[in-house]
Structure 1
Amino acid sequence: MAVKKAKLLELDIVRAIAILAVLIIHNSSEATVEIPVGSGSQALYLAVNKLSNFAVPVFIFISGLVLFYRYFDDWSGKQAVTFYLKRVKQVLFPYLIWSAFYYVYNQWIYAPANLHFDWAEFGDLLPWADASYHLYFMVIIVQFYLLFPLMVWLSRAFAWFGRSLFLIGILVQAGGYLYSHWIEPLPHSASLCVTYFSLFALGGYLGMRYEAFIGWINKHIVWVLPLSVLLGCSYAGMFLLAELKGVQFGGLAYMLVFNVYPMFASMSFIWIGRLLLKYLPALSKMLLSLGAVSFGIYLMHPAVLTYWRTHVDNGSGRMLDYHLYTLTAFVLSLGVPWLAAYLYGQAMRRLRPPSSRKQVKSAA
Structure 2
Amino acid sequence: MVWFREVEYMRGFAPLAVVAVHISMNYTRIPAVNLLALVNVFIYVAAHFAVPVFVFISGWVLAARYSGDYPLRGFYRRRARTILLPYLFFTALYLMVTVEGTIGFAGVPSPEMAAEALLLGTAAYHLWFFVLIIQLYLLFPLIMRGYDRFDRSGAALFLLLALLFVQILWNAGAHLAGAFAGTEWYTVLIRLFPSHLLYFVLGIHAARYTDGCRSALCSLPAAWILAAAGAGALLIGGIWAATVLRYGSISGATLAVFCIYRILEPFYYVPVIAALVLAAWRLDERGGRRAAASRLFGEHSYGIYLVHPLVIAAGAAAWTSLTGLSWADWETYPVIFAAAAVVSYGAVRHLSRVPYAGWLLGEPRVRRRPGRSGGT
TM category (shorter chain) comes to 0.7 to 0.9
**CA deviations over 1:170-199 (Å, ceiling 9, x no partner):** 243245246546776644233222212222
- Alignment identity in percent? 22
How far 1:118 sits from its partner (Å)? 4.7
Match of 2:52 among 37, 57, 64: 57
2:15, 2:50 within 8 Å by CA — same for their partners in 1?
yes
Is the aligned partner of 1:165 residue 2:166? no
1:25 is matched by which residue type in structure 2? V
State how far apart, in whole Å, the 2-side matches of 1:202 and 1:167 are.
10
Aligned to 1:260: 267
1:67 equivalent in alignment to 2:48:
no
Q: In the alignment, which of 269, 273, 282 is matched to residue 275 of structure 1?
A: 282
Question: Structure 1 length normalisation: TM-score?
Answer: 0.84
Contact 2:6–2:280 under 8 Å retained in 1: yes
| Cα offsets for 1:205-253 (capped at 9, x unmatched) | 2222111101111111332221111111111111122222459654332
SS in 1 for 2:190: helix
Determine the structure 1 residue equivalent to 2:5: 9
1: CA distance, partners of 2:367 / 2:45: 42
Separation in structure 1 between the aligned mates of residue 8 and residue 166 of structure 2, nearest angstrom? 29
Q: For 2:126, what is the secondary structure of its paired residue?
A: coil
Q: Distance in 2 between matches of 1:178 and 1:119?
A: 33
User: What pairs up with 1:1-364 in 2 under 5 angstroms?
Assistant: 4-5=1-2, 7-34=3-30, 36-37=32-33, 39-71=34-66, 74-78=67-71, 80-106=72-98, 112=105, 115-116=107-108, 118-119=110-111, 121-158=113-150, 159-160=152-153, 162-177=156-171, 179-180=173-174, 186-188=185-187, 189-220=189-220, 221-245=222-246, 250-310=257-317, 312-313=319-320, 316=324, 322-347=329-354
- 1:33 deviates by 4.3
Deviation by residue 1:275-333 (Cα, 9 ceiling, x = unmatched): 110014321100001111111111001112222334552865799x9233333322222
Q: 1:223 to 1:254 in 2, by over 3 A?
A: same
Distance 1:126 1:180 in 2: 21
- 2:63 is paired with a residue of what secondary structure? helix
5+ residue gaps, structure 1: none
Secondary structure, in 3 states, of the residue corresponding to 1:127? Answer: helix
How much has 1:126 moved relative to structure 2?
A: 0.5
Alpha-carbon contact 1:66-1:207 (below 8 Å) kept: yes
**Which residue type is aligned with residue 193 of structure 2?**
C
Range with bigger deviation, 135-144 or 168-177: 168-177
Q: Which runs of 5+ in 2 are unaligned?
A: 248-252, 359-363
The verdict on how the C-alpha distance between 1:347 and 1:242 changes in structure 2, with shifts beyond 3 A counting, is same
Task: Label 1:313 to 1:289 Cα distance change in 2 as closer, same or farther (>3 A).
Answer: same
